[in-house]
Chains A and B, each alone.
Chain A
Amino acid sequence: MAAGATSMFRDFLRRLLKNRLAVAGAVVVSFLFVVAAYPSAFARHDPSRIDVRKILEPPSADHPLGTDELGRDVLSRMVHGARISMEVGFVATGIATAIGLVVGLIAGFYGRWVDGVLMRFVDIMLCFPSFFLILAVIAFLGPSIINIMAVIGLTSWMGAARLVRAETLSLKERDFVSAARAQGAGNLRIIFRHILPNALAPILVWATLGVAGAILVESSLSFLGIGVQPPTPSWGNILTAGKDNIEFAWWLSVYPGLAILVTVLGYYLLGEGIQDAADPRLKGR
């Protein structure tokens, strides 16, 4: 049992690396990070340079994924679109996680009517078909990237809140919380020093899966024309162009579609891998 101070983390990493699907997911996600961080290293052309001589050209050496209806390079647009997708995914999930943590900690810790009120609010939020809510709000506020991030975040925190609440309920009955109380620790100290750090592992898993969900919603919104607005590239709005030209330009639909599929799958595999590797119930102390 005795080992370095990081042995718990090393254990976790070893289990994660043994899971091939999780490793595949991690590779996909890391690759996307690199693409999003250095788009110019992967795109040879300016993503918004229009060239009327090259409209809807099939994949070639110069344009590996072909060109779109305005003669722009699809690969370059997708590479720059990756950045948008990642940004939206992370910021929206960050907002959702933050709200979920606050609501879940307060509901679980204080219990009684506070818990009742907050959890009924969660139930109400879950009753809305969230995609239509997002559609309505975006239609009202206008489709800017900031609005998209905020609205996705504000409509997807309920799962996190329930998760954190459940963790808090079980953690606050543990002896180390009683011990902290006996030492004279106040509620805030107990919440931030004793409950929150122990509730972080499951919320990390939730957030990983949440990024995938947010990317999917952003793509859908962009596809419907009320997400990321042209000329800013996004996988969703490339697909829109692909839909209009699907009979003679398959590459315009297939590649962004594949990108979304692989990205979402990557996040899911990674998230599930983290969950399996971190779950102490499978560990057998």
Chain B
Amino acid sequence: MSRGDGPLLSLENIYKFFPVRKSFFVAGTLRVHAVDGVSIDVPAGKTVGLVGESGCGKTTLGRMAIRLIPPDAGRVVFEGRDITTLAGEELRRIRSKMQIIFQDPYSSLNPRMRVRDIVGEGWRVHGIARGAEAREMAWRLLRRVGLSADAADKYPHEFSGGQRQRIGIARAIALSPRLVVADEPVSALDVSVQAQILNLLRDIQEEYGMAYLFVSHDLRVIRHVSDTVAVMYLGKLMEVSPAEDLFREPIHPYSRSLLSAVPMPGGALREKIVLSGEIPSPIHIPPGCRFHTRCFMAQRMCGEVSPLLRECAPGRYAACHFV
């Protein structure tokens, strides 16, 4: 596959388990099924929104996409190249093309480093620039993300949450990556600041042409930024649709219930679907369709056969027996 054709990033049947400390009375090892067989493509220059309840594995998936944590099974293909088992120097070299923006603007910046060293770390690591040149580049970068140049010599604790997130964004784009995983980049911020940061992310995408894998639990944010939306539940994808289609008419019963919970400006009024019960434990995943314990459409076969993600309408995929 040549570089131009395929998607920028392909996750192919990715799994991630976390072992749980074994109890004396339980035979065998218990595992949290954080990501349970997910395949998804991120096209170059586009934004794929990943939405789901907390604990559904979306953050884990995002970290595997840029090889921050290794998948237990499946393949990560970046620019047509399998990077699943890449290590050492080769892995470090490819890291400059894939970056991440974190949720928590406090723990994501080293409190003992000056801002110019934080945003310029990648330049130093990859031998791109240092000294006066790096300082110059840091000033330009900081102004680009809406901070003043004198921010370069300060420490992170001298900034507000929104400003810190701008520093995190500057760090992520410093190496002009082709893919940025945005892991809940605005959920720790005030609503007014959220809009500013979202606009900044959009402007930067237009300018640099990078793709976003945008992880969020906030449907309004997802709608604002995404070209394609993937809905995740307990480690599996329930639906993948173009954003417009999904928000106009969700296919999967889980997507439908999620969307009915959020009043959308301009959206048609939907009947509210209230899910019963709690989200099941990711250690003991229900057999069959993992959503059947809470689904308003569930039939007998849902508890026995796990539905596959299949194309239900042109360009739209859902994992449900009855749509």
Interface residues of B in 127-143 (CB under 8 A from A): none
Cβ–Cβ < 8 Å partners of A8 in chain B: 155, 157
Residue ID in chain B nearest A189 by CB atoms: B125
Question: Contacts A175-B102, A185-B121 given: A2-B108 contact, CB under 8 Å?
Answer: no
On whether the beta carbons of B157 and A1 are closer than 8 Å, the reply is yes
Contacting A198 at CB < 8 Å: which of B111, B121, B159?
Answer: B111
Cβ–Cβ < 8 Å partners of A186 in chain B: 92, 125
A/B pair count, beta carbons within 8 Å: 77
Contacting A183 at CB < 8 Å: which of B95, B104, B108, B112?
Answer: B95
On whether the beta carbons of A182 and B157 are closer than 8 Å, the reply is no
Q: Does A282 contact B (CB under 8 A)?
A: no
Residue ID in chain A nearest B113 by CB atoms: A193
Cβ–Cβ < 8 Å partners of A193 in chain B: 110, 113, 121
Question: Contacts A5-B154, A5-B158, A185-B121 given: A179-B102 contact, CB under 8 Å?
Answer: yes
On whether the beta carbons of B155 and A5 are closer than 8 Å, the reply is yes
Residue ID in chain A nearest B89 by CB atoms: A186
The minimal Cβ–Cβ distance linking B44 to chain A, given in whole angstroms, is 19
Q: Does B290 contact A (CB under 8 A)?
A: no
On whether the beta carbons of A175 and B107 are closer than 8 Å, the reply is yes
A175 to B68, CA, bound (A): 11
On whether the beta carbons of B171 and A183 are closer than 8 Å, the reply is yes
Q: Does B244 contact A (CB under 8 A)?
A: no
Q: Does B96 contact A (CB under 8 A)?
A: yes
Q: Mark A2-42, 1 if CB is under 8 A from B, else 0.
A: 11010110000000000000000000000000000000000
On whether the beta carbons of B110 and A182 are closer than 8 Å, the reply is no
Contacting B158 at CB < 8 Å: which of A7, A175, A179?
Answer: A7
Q: Does B109 contact A (CB under 8 A)?
A: yes
On whether the beta carbons of B92 and A182 are closer than 8 Å, the reply is no
On whether the beta carbons of A194 and B110 are closer than 8 Å, the reply is yes
Question: Contacts A185-B121, A185-B125, A193-B113 given: A174-B107 contact, CB under 8 Å?
Answer: yes
Cβ–Cβ < 8 Å partners of B249 in chain A: none
Residue ID in chain A nearest B153 by CB atoms: A5
The minimal Cβ–Cβ distance linking B78 to chain A, given in whole angstroms, is 13
Q: Mark B51-69, 1 if CB is under 8 A from A, else 0.
A: 0000000000001001010
A210 to B126, CA, bound (A): 41
Cβ–Cβ < 8 Å partners of A181 in chain B: 68, 95
Question: Contacts A175-B102, A178-B68, A182-B98 given: A1-B110 contact, CB under 8 Å?
Answer: no
On whether the beta carbons of A184 and B125 are closer than 8 Å, the reply is yes
Residue ID in chain A nearest B88 by CB atoms: A186
A255 to B248, CA, bound (A): 87
Residue ID in chain A nearest B171 by CB atoms: A179
Question: Contacts A7-B158, A184-B92, A184-B93 given: A178-B100 contact, CB under 8 Å?
Answer: yes
A8 to B154, CA, bound (A): 12
Cβ–Cβ < 8 Å partners of A174 in chain B: 107-108
The minimal Cβ–Cβ distance linking A206 to chain B, given in whole angstroms, is 18
- Could you say which of A1, A3, A179, A181 has the most chain B C-beta atoms within 10 Å of its C-beta? A179
The minimal Cβ–Cβ distance linking B121 to chain A, given in whole angstroms, is 5
On whether the beta carbons of A184 and B95 are closer than 8 Å, the reply is yes
Q: Does A180 contact B (CB under 8 A)?
A: yes
The minimal Cβ–Cβ distance linking B141 to chain A, given in whole angstroms, is 14
Q: Mark B74-100, 1 if CB is under 8 A from A, else 0.
A: 000000000000000000110110111
Residue ID in chain A nearest B93 by CB atoms: A184
The minimal Cβ–Cβ distance linking B129 to chain A, given in whole angstroms, is 14
A186 to B108, CA, bound (A): 18
On whether the beta carbons of A179 and B113 are closer than 8 Å, the reply is no
On whether the beta carbons of A182 and B100 are closer than 8 Å, the reply is yes
A174 to B102, CA, bound (A): 11
Q: Does B222 contact A (CB under 8 A)?
A: no
Q: Does B9 contact A (CB under 8 A)?
A: no
Cβ–Cβ < 8 Å partners of A5 in chain B: 153-155, 158
On whether the beta carbons of B66 and A182 are closer than 8 Å, the reply is yes
Question: Contacts A1-B158, A1-B160 given: A184-B107 contact, CB under 8 Å?
Answer: no
Q: Does A197 contact B (CB under 8 A)?
A: yes
Q: Mark A165-200, 1 if CB is under 8 A from B, else 0.
A: 000000000111011111111100100011001100
On whether the beta carbons of B125 and A198 are closer than 8 Å, the reply is no
The minimal Cβ–Cβ distance linking B162 to chain A, given in whole angstroms, is 12
The minimal Cβ–Cβ distance linking A9 to chain B, given in whole angstroms, is 11
The minimal Cβ–Cβ distance linking B182 to chain A, given in whole angstroms, is 13
Cβ–Cβ < 8 Å partners of A198 in chain B: 110-112
Q: Does B122 contact A (CB under 8 A)?
A: yes
Residue ID in chain B nearest A11 by CB atoms: B157
Question: Contacts A198-B111, A198-B112 given: A183-B121 contact, CB under 8 Å?
Answer: yes
Cβ–Cβ < 8 Å partners of B109 in chain A: 176, 179
A104 to B175, CA, bound (A): 33
Q: List 7 A-B contacts (CB under 8 A).
A: A2-B158, A7-B157, A178-B100, A179-B171, A181-B68, A183-B175, A198-B112
**What is the interface of chain A, defined by CB distance below 8 A to chain B?**
1-3, 5, 7-8, 174-176, 178-186, 189, 193-194, 197-198
A-B residue pairs, 4 tightest by C-beta: A175-B108, A197-B112, A184-B95, A183-B122
Extra contacts, 9 of them, besides A1-B157, A5-B158, A183-B171 (Cβ < 8 A), are: A174-B107, A178-B68, A179-B100, A179-B102, A179-B109, A183-B96, A183-B121, A193-B121, A197-B112
